[in-house]
Amino acid sequence: MTMGAIARRITRVITAVVCVAVSVGVSVATLHVPTREGGGERFNPARYRSDVIADTVINHTTGVDKTQGTGTAGSPYDNKGYFPEAGYTPSDFHAPCSIWTYRDAESVWNCQVSGLQDLDTSSPHVRDVLSDYFVKLLDYGVAGFRVDAVKHMPPEDVLAIKKLVAKKSGRSMNDIWWTQEVIGDNAEAAEIQPRNYLKTGQVNEFQYAYRLKSLFSNSLAGGSLSIKDIPQNITDSGKASVFVTNRDTERNNMTLTYKDGDAYQLANAFMLAYPYGTPNVFSGYEFHDTDSGAPGATATSVPDIDCSKDSGWSCTERWPDVHGMVG
């Protein structure tokens, strides 16, 4: 498939999703629900629509273990930093090094996470390429972005990229919904904590998901943590995007998953009712190990989601208690 064909398919999918009237739930990978009273704007069912939030990876590219190859759209690449279709050359990447500690921000920002080639986001050329990418997605019709691996980039770089996106697209920065994956860990460098990225947009509040697991796996009435304590000492509600699980945490047993049955179902309903943060409902598929892919997927394609019984897809957004609580 060519890049042009992929672009046309993306546009058709986004148009189909956004133009369909939705009253009870959305069949998209990420369900973005406006925050309720106590967490920003009040939820208004009349404004509810199915928006597409694009998951963007801008910190890194392919792994250095792959000498060279060709992407699914036919674009070539290698492990020296040559990506001609994107316009990247070796000078657009940081010098190869592995993160040696998360207590040193420079190591986290400038070295390779999991052996992936690390883009130099301080470079004007890299910022220009990335901002063009975001603007193109906005032109396709996406409503906003989830930005991956944000703590692996300096806060000023991420902010500069978003400012460029706003300028090029003719939008206000506040009109571009933007949530960032920043896994807070007090044992890590102060410079890479979530609070440093709040000028750019919301941050994923992982502690919320961890606390839900503690509460719903045990007893809501007992233990050292109670429901009223959930938002204590974490990101302010209006700047937090929250979830019960995501594609990473479900695989490392850090959060509740579909395997937890009723506890998982109840936690999702609770998240949609509790006045904290912007809820994100994760809809995935059954997995058996950390590398399990989608049912029927190959190296180059993923079949359409099948929500029928025993299909392997969870289709969480269709659960009555989930789409009911959205309303």
Q: Tokens for 200?
A: 């750019």
Exposed, middle or buried by CB within 10 Å (0-12, 13-18, 19+), for 205?
A: buried
β-strand pairing of 278-282 with 30-32: antiparallel
Among candidates 25, 257, 28, which has minimal Cα distance to 143?
A: 28
* Side-chain-side CA neighbours of residue 149 (13 Å): 19
Q: What 3-state class would DSSP assign to 152? A: helix
The residues assigned a catalytic role are: 148, 181
The pairs formed by 88-93 with CB atoms below 8 angstroms and a separation of 24 or more are 88/61, 88/119, 88/126, 88/129, 91/123, 92/119, 92/120, 92/123, 92/125, 92/126, 92/129, 93/61, 93/117, 93/118, 93/119, 93/120
What's 92's DSSP letter? G
Q: Is the dihedral of CA 107, 109, 114, 117 positive or negative?
A: negative
Q: Please state, in angstroms and rounded to a whole number, the distance separating the CA atoms of residues 78 and 233.
A: 44
Q: Please state, in angstroms and rounded to a whole number, the distance separating the CA atoms of residues 66 and 54.
A: 26
What's 53's DSSP letter? E
Q: What CA–CA distances, in Å, run from 247 to 29, 206, 250, 260, 274? A: 11, 12, 6, 15, 22
In the block, residue with structure tokens 């029928």: 308
Angle at 72 between CA 308 and CA 88, to 5 degrees: 135
Q: Is the dihedral of CA 101, 105, 108, 111 positive or negative?
A: negative
